[in-house]
Structure 1
Amino acid sequence: MSAAIVARARACIGARFRPQGRNIAEGLDCVGLAAIACDVPAPARDYALRGGDGDRIAAGLAAAGLIPVPWPEALPGDVLLVEAGPAQAHLLVLTDVGFVHADAGLRRVVETPGRPPWPVLGAWRGT
């Protein structure tokens, strides 16, 4: 499962960043990217871009069938919830060399080498 999640996340690399975007052709945000990577339906677009509620996001990941795992035990293909800024939740997909995420600053989906630079709030694994 993890190899497939990484492959689907990498297939999104280069897609433009679009707030609340849900498909590669029109653009993706971190939620859209995670949904494609995990092959689950993306949730409704009824969330704020700032002031994300970590508990609500965690509940959404669980509802999508992902199971929580301890962050130190996270593996490629796992989805991380990080705090990218004050009250700014962000999802990313771990890979064997770093992580894939929808980078608002670069305005596209990218794979960044290394460990995420943000505090990790939780990790989830596809089933």
Structure 2
Amino acid sequence: MSRIADAAVAAVGTRFRLHGRGLDGLDCVGLVALALRADGYAGAVPTGYSLRGGDWGLLDRVLVRVATAEPGDVLLMAAGPGQVHLGIRTAAGFVHADAALRRVVERPGMPPWPLIGVWRMGV
């Protein structure tokens, strides 16, 4: 697997915390930042956003958009009306910070939500 996917899987069980950026609590943005740092990303991470909306152009500025998801890729999903959600593809499925379950989890297969796009480090 990739270092990004490995870091995401290692975070499984971490509690959910809106705007969380460490192993004391993560949201979906914090989870992606934590995983990308395992592969050398040292850039800015968005803060102060709400649960709905947001500027996802940052993904295009730091990652490369790809057509199909492989382990370690960042997934952007439409989780609800006006609500987007991030996750990391793994060999078994995907890891995401689940607000309803209040923790980071790995789910088998592809996400149940519509996939907006897929990004990869350093293609």
TM over 0.5: yes
C-alpha RMSD of the superposition: 1.3
1:8-52: CA deviation from partner (whole Å, max 9, x where unpaired): 111111100001111112x000000001111134524121112x1
Correspondence for 1:45: 47
- The unaligned stretches of length 5 or more in structure 1 are none
Q: Which moved more, 1:82-91 or 1:36-45?
A: 36-45
What is the TM-score normalised by the length of structure 2? 0.90
1:1-127 residue pairs with structure 2 within 5 A? 3-25=2-24, 27-39=25-37, 40=41, 41=43, 43-50=45-52, 52-53=53-54, 56-57=55-56, 59-63=57-61, 65-70=62-67, 73-127=68-122
- The unaligned stretches of length 5 or more in structure 2 are none
Q: Partner of 1:48: helix, strand, or coil? A: coil
Moved beyond 6 Å, runs of 4+: none
Identity of aligned residues (%): 53
1:66-124: CA deviation from partner (whole Å, max 9, x where unpaired): 10011xx2111100100111111000000111000000010000000111000000100
